[in-house]
Amino acid sequence: MSSAEAYSGFAQTDFTAQQEEKPKNSLASVVDPDARHSAKSDKKHYMGHKVQNVMSAESQFIVNFEGISATENDGESFLDVVDEAKKQTDLSPQKILVDGQYTTMANLQGAKQREFQLVGNIKEPANPKGGYPLSAFHYDPEQKRLTCPARVMTEDTYRNETAETTVYRFPAEVCAECKRRKKCTSSEKGRTVSISDSYHLVLEAKEYLRTDEGKADMKV
């Protein structure tokens, strides 16, 4: 190998290491140090900020707005913006229409506590371990039963008090023979599914979207 080839290989390796060590929330602009790089999709990137705003559906006036970092999740400061709007005006919203980035469990809980209805598409998180997400299972809160995509039902549970969830367990021997196993779980102990104590709020929100009123709201 020539000295030029050796140097080229060294430079490439060093550059790769530098790329991996680049901080996630790095400075994007020396002119605007608070600006950050973000993306709406794989193809649509931008640099700047985001703005959260609360608008009255009746008057079409914006009653509050707040700038946030471009890297902050859309729904993260939602409740703070709503609370501030209520302080600054005499408005007490009974219903707030949002997009799917705002209908998180925390925001559904906050809306319940503040006695207003949060309406928007429900985007349940994917299974971090891979396999079918919770939305693929049928949950019966009254009977305390969970049915998997292969139509196997279980009532076998245990509590996770730290996470405030009930964990449903499917029989290991049934999962081992299931034709859908590869799409569901790789665990030799069978599939488990965690149900949050507040999951009923998600079910209620989904049920409302199926009503005529809910469908009308989503067209606004």
Per-residue model confidence (pLDDT) at position 63: 82
Residues 89 and 147 in one domain: no
In a domain, 139, yes or no: yes
DSSP string, 65-89: EEEEETTS-TTTTHHHHHHHHHHHS
In a domain, 78, yes or no: yes
Find which of 60-74, 116-130, 169-183 is predicted with most confidence, using mean pLDDT: 169-183
Residues 75 and 41 in one domain: yes
State yes or no: pLDDT of 15 exceeds 50. no
- Distance of alpha carbon 181 from alpha carbon 195, whole angstroms: 21
Helix (H) or strand (E) holding 196: strand 192-196
Choose one of 95, 123, 151: the last residue of a domain: 123
In a domain, 111, yes or no: yes
Query: Alpha carbon of 2 to those of 8, 101, 170: distances in Å?
Result: 10, 55, 61
Per-residue model confidence (pLDDT) at position 28: 59
Choose one of 62, 88, 123: the last residue of a domain: 123
Per-residue model confidence (pLDDT) at position 3: 38
Q: Residues 25-34: pLDDT tens digits?
A: 665 565 566 6
CA 169 to chain centre: 24
Residues 91 and 163 in one domain: no
State yes or no: pLDDT of 101 exceeds 80. yes
To the nearest whole number, what is the mean pLDDT of the chain?
Answer: 82
Total domains in the chain come to: 2
Which band of pLDDT confidence, cut at 50, 70 and 90, is reported for residue 128? confident
In a domain, 25, yes or no: no
Residues 100 and 155 in one domain: no
Q: Are residues 9 and 16 in contact, defined by beta-carbon separation less than 8 angstroms? A: no
pTM above 0.95, yes or no: no
In a domain, 16, yes or no: no
Choose one of 91, 123, 155: the last residue of a domain: 123
Burial class (CB in 10 A: 0-12, 13-18, 19+), 24: exposed
More confident residue, 95 or 41: 95
Find which of 27-36, 86-95, 150-159 is predicted with most confidence, using mean pLDDT: 150-159
Residues 46 and 87 in one domain: yes
Residue 74: closest CA among 101, 40, 49, 105: 101
In a domain, 153, yes or no: yes
Residues 92 and 141 in one domain: no
Which residue range forms the structural domain that includes residue 85? 36-123
CA atoms within 13 A on the CB side of 192: 13
